[in-house]
Chains A and B, each alone.
Chain A
């Protein structure tokens, strides 16, 4: 297995999908000759031509509407929204149209659309570019929301998303793009949607997390191990729908839970996970469910980001609090 960056794994997945199925189209702002502002589509326009990998006018709603329209001609659109902060411009196409269309058509039509978008803080993007808005998506029935935390999953989940006949919001963590390198299996493979992964086994406490925050949780688990606390880390991978079975098994084993997310406390999906755990596994719990999140303020772009975003130490502190609860 070759060691690859998160973004290289994404490019490879797009390449394989374009190669495998001529109905796959990749489009968005600057994804053509320029290869995307983050170079996620680097080289694909040259390889597959401007009819398969192409630029669009700077109009997010048109990108979403076009993706929906293209499905009528049996295309499988993989559209890019350049930054997740621009998602509001295309919310009707996403939440009112593609999310509802299978239902609206009474299951007589499929909408195999992937909405790719970089999200997350800590990379000093301009204001309103890269917020954690996954909660908005996850609260919309009809949308599957996928948030890979590592290169191997990034590739396998993207290929699974493109194969899916349901619309998938596929969120790429900006900070992980080039900061993380890991082994990525060769060739075409898919990582199942809707299935969480046990990213690290442990016995004292479970941390449930997703996306860019998983790395911080694994680092926290390493640190806590040195203090004699054995931490199990669940990486949700798909944040809607939630894999409550995997979470449940872990909670039944450890009896203690911390949910960690990069999003603000009232945003994100931690509250959904906590509700499911409370409703289903309350008798397995030995302590209240802890939560690590950003505070409920507007996202402070650029220089203040790292003071605001939850860090490894925040996870460590919350885990200790829950482990010490009697």
Chain B
């Protein structure tokens, strides 16, 4: 075949794309190490292993409680996270307090892992503005217009680079989010400036009801990072160790001035898109969901840690009770926050309100609103 004919062999190129992104795996479905060498090289301490497990359990409990509170009408918008514990919590453990998180609407666990108070997460869910006060925690509120967090993360990452900081901006979207133009623009721009960013596409198979295969004909969403000229990998998103190690390596790469990395985590959203009326059985089968439970990140990590003598049912139950108690307190704290005022909404819009806005502030204040 001549060089020209090879170049024009589109079928071969499509097949080649499929081979270029092997999935990173460290822990199999039975909790056994499948890449001992990588695990050893990563040098993860026992404390780190336990901490990762704890973050995932905390996320699990928070999800259980949040979905119940949503059913009771005590929370507003809730996007379940069951199945994404490794993709969210294990990856987030790789980042430091100085790193900046730009979450999507499902990424509350990463915010809480960073120190964002649970009661504020509940207030955010209820649409209370105190839920958008981040304090010193280097995170933004969850992004609703998906993809926007990617371009904003590129700006933060560029800013960090300009300030000479040894920290990164890290951000998450989903497989649906990967179809947004901003996702590409963010990766491309951060890549062009070699800015300190780590991008995650959590490929959980569905954007509400639209399946992954309708998002893109790209065999791997990670290949979208190649279009932006940045290192891009696929990771078993239900394997906590693979998620943590990949995130840690990506962070090291970005913080060293090499530019951004894209990580596609293959995971599943085992529950509805949100608690606002979505029924997954309208667009996927029970069998499909059950098959994913076999890859449950919690079970895999639990077996692995039990094998090392680092975890037990007793430890897990005690820890779950602690988290439940923490959540009870958070619910009370959120319930005790005073009602919002319309006059504050106007005041919060501009630092310097215009004449007409001033009139409106006075009017609502006069009405006690």
Contacts and interface: CB of A to CB of B under 8 A. Distances in A.
A97 B148 contact: yes
A51 interface: yes
A242 B152 CA distance: 30
B28 interface: no
B145 interface: yes
Contacts of B100: 72
Nearest to B197: A69
B155 A194 contact: no
Q: Which of A51, A65, A75 has the most CB of B within 10 A?
A: A65
B47 interface: no
B244 interface: no
Contacts of B153: 69
| Interface residues of chain B: helix, strand, loop or mixed (majority) | helix
A75 B159 contact: yes
A104 to B, nearest CB: 5
Contacts of B169: 69
Interface residues of A, number: 46
A69 B138 CA distance: 12
A102 B348 contact: yes
A70 B161 CA distance: 11
A245 B356 CA distance: 10
Interface string A235-254: 00010111111000000000
Interface of A: 51, 56-57, 59, 61-62, 64-73, 75, 92-93, 96-97, 102-110, 141-142, 144, 164-166, 193-194, 238, 240-245, 276
Interface string B307-334: 0000000000000000000000000000
Given A62-B188, A244-B355, A97 B145 contact: yes
B352 A166 contact: yes
B348 A166 contact: no
B249 to A, nearest CB: 24
Interface string B337-369: 000000001011111111111000000000000
Contacts of A244: 355-356
B263 interface: no
B132 A68 contact: no
Interface of B: 100, 129-130, 132-135, 141, 145, 148, 150-160, 162-163, 169, 181-182, 185-186, 188-189, 192, 345, 347-357
B134 A70 contact: no
A67 B151 CA distance: 9
Given A65-B151, A66-B155, A166-B350, 8 more contacts: A57-B189, A59-B185, A62-B151, A62-B185, A72-B156, A105-B134, A106-B348, A241-B356
Contact of A194 (B152, B186, B347, B355): B355
19 contacts: A61-B151, A62-B154, A62-B185, A64-B151, A66-B151, A71-B155, A72-B156, A97-B148, A105-B134, A105-B141, A107-B348, A107-B351, A109-B134, A142-B350, A166-B350, A240-B354, A241-B354, A242-B356, A244-B355
B350 A65 contact: no
Given A57-B188, A164-B352, A65 B159 contact: no
A176 to B, nearest CB: 25
B158 A69 contact: yes
Q: Which of B135, B152, B169, B188 has the most CB of A within 10 A?
A: B152
Contacts of A107: 347-348, 351
Contact of A69 (B135, B145, B157, B357): B157
B189 A59 contact: yes
A69 B143 CA distance: 13
Contacts of B133: 105-106, 108
Contacts of A194: 352, 354-355
A65 B152 contact: yes
B345 A68 contact: no
The 8 closest A-B CB pairs, nearest first, are A69-B155, A65-B151, A241-B354, A73-B159, A66-B155, A62-B185, A106-B129, A69-B156
A65 B354 contact: no
A61 B355 contact: no
A65 B155 contact: yes
A127 B356 CA distance: 36
Nearest to B163: A73
Nearest to A245: B355
